[in-house]
A and B are shown apart, each in its own frame.
Chain A
Amino acid sequence: MAIKVLNPGLLTSVQDLGRPGYFHLGIPVSGAMDRYAMRAANLLVGNEESAAGLEAVFVGPQLAFAEDAMIAVTGADMPVKIDGEIQPGWTALPVKAGQVLSFDFLTAGARIYIAVAGGIDVPVALGSRSTYPIGALGGFKGRAIARDDELPVGRPSGRAISGRGVPDDLRRENPVPVELRILPGLYDHRVTKASLDRFFDEEWKVAPEADRMGYRFRGGTPLEFNEREQPFGAGSDPSNIVDSCYPYGSVQVPGGTEPIILHRDAVSGGGYFMIGTVISADMDLIGQLQPNTPARFRRVTMEQALEARHARAAMLDRLRKALQ
């Protein structure tokens, strides 16, 4: 069974839950930016949560099915159409051989996740089917999907229940302005306390430069650095450090002006200081932000970060129970 790509959309790639374990060699974690939505789509079609699906940003693809299939679309609000007829999102949908899946315009959020019963069965590379395009690794031939590609599909489990949906309270939330919780740290001692306080007080906006590598924000006041003589090897700009690892979710501020939150395909390290890290519970929210979305950064403690993590895990458990 294969799915033929009639139109790839803007940028659509094969993703699963990611490729952990190779960050120390510069190979990013990759995987769905909104992993909750990816898991939900897989559960709806009876897949393992770690099965590979498609992630599409802003514009949905057009896909033709050679055989009967079960699919689900989660994530952003983007009306789903099968042979032109509108279908519900967050729901297991049967598709007949010869039918075409397409989408209307995006109304909220940024990324949709398309799961197919059996999963997209591209070869596993370093433990994952996720696409790392810069390294031409994983996914469909190491790149985003293109017109006329034929995407292989694995064997369905048969566990999917046609028409079943994710309960409303377990779907993606779409708060505006979005609030992203940050644990301060890493190199936050490089900036003045007043300047850091202001960073957390001000409203920011998602910049147009927002992709799978990182999300840039603008609109706030530039940070003020504490004076120092730059250490050997760091570089001359006060925002430079001796090149270090960049934690997943870390917030770097090159030149002190525009913060960038590093995401799934980010570079693994470099020479810009970081003021903290977005907590694990909030990383999924970022992939659903459109440019110009107002955002606030809220400072939290490790205890609060762990509480949020547990709340997120509890929500995922409820999702699993609802779709058992």
Chain B
Amino acid sequence: MKPRYTFGGDEHLFVEVDEEMSLDAFFKSLSMTRIIAERAIEGVTEICPANASFQVKFDPDVVAPGALLEEVRSIEAEAGKADPVLQTRLIEIPVFYQDPWTHETLMRFRERHQDPQGTDLEYAARINGYSSVEAFIAAHSGSPWFVSMVGFVAGLPFMYQMVERGRQIQVPKYLRPRTDTPKLTVGYGGCFSCIYSVRGAGGYQMFGITPMPIFDPDQKTNYLEDFMVFFRPGDIVKFRPIDRVEYDRTVEAVAKNAFKPKIREVEFDLRAFNADIKGYNARLEGMINGD
């Protein structure tokens, strides 16, 4: 893992921590961005962490690009020594897989898909070696996911599957992006799952839909009153499959502003996770299901 430094024009320093995705790369990136924030470097106007890279926006009238590059580079060694430990949230997200709305949409854009004869779930199950859509859904909802980036559109989480690399689900994006995706679609592209926070264009495969809003520009939803965006990098997500009855009931509760997401405060330690992924995930599962 050798970070690569480059400029995005005269206003952005761009750091690719690693070419490939891993939680190690995410944590190194997180440590570096934290130290940059702590140093409150004059001229730095925004720090944007991504999956295995980050971007620092700066005002070159205040800080010279070369000087900023040197300062950020000098942080690399210090960041390597930081403990990969995070105080974070474990969040349960109800998902109605194979729902009628994403199904209608995926049928509408079938000619843009690798497999025009099937559905996105059938395709994803097949190319990942699952015998059925049900087995695939069990895998998607069976392990926790790590929010490694928030972005694309407002508040959309990119989620990385917390399993051994050999077991990670991978699917290509649509051959040509759709012009429409239902709001709150649970999608998949590359090695990332996502939740579309708003309706709009998209290229990820569509697996289902959650009744739980994750972006509210009016800030009326009870758990989005303080801030309109729900997710933060470092959040851990557990999907729970729900049926139509529970979906409808939850949508109704959301409309009455009575729905509250299930959230637990947890400490995540990457070393302990890597040492025993199965056991670690079982403990996380126990925490979200316990009272």
Contact = CB atoms under 8 A, between A and B. Distances in A.
Contacts of A10: none
B12 A277 contact: yes
Nearest to A233: B21
Contact of A24 (B66, B151, B217): B151
B8 A185 contact: yes
A244 B47 CA distance: 13
Interface string B90-128: 000000000000000000000000000000000000000
A26 B150 contact: yes
A245 B151 contact: yes
Given A135-B153, A137-B154, A233-B20, A305 B10 contact: yes
A234 B152 contact: no
Interface string A25-38: 11100000000000
Interface string B159-199: 01000010000101100000000000000011110000110
> Is chain A's binding surface mostly helix, strand, loop or mixed?
mixed
B52 interface: yes
Contact of A309 (B19, B57, B60): B60
A124 to B, nearest CB: 13
Contact of A302 (B7, B21, B53): B7
Contacts of B236: none
Contacts of B55: 244-245, 247
A212 B230 CA distance: 26
A26 B21 contact: no
Contacts, number: 173
Contacts of B160: 233
A278 B60 CA distance: 15
Contact of B45 (A21, A25, A236, A278): A21
Given A242-B19, A306-B10, A269 B152 contact: yes
B174 to A, nearest CB: 12
B46 interface: yes
Nearest to A232: B20
A249 B10 CA distance: 10
B50 A244 contact: yes
Interface in B199-249: 200, 215, 217, 228-229
20 contacts: A21-B46, A24-B150, A26-B229, A27-B229, A135-B217, A183-B7, A185-B6, A186-B14, A231-B19, A232-B22, A234-B19, A240-B190, A243-B50, A244-B51, A248-B9, A248-B11, A249-B8, A268-B153, A269-B151, A277-B9
Interface of B: 6-12, 14, 16, 18-22, 45-55, 57, 60-61, 65-66, 149-156, 158, 160, 165, 170, 172-173, 189-192, 197-198, 200, 215, 217, 228-229
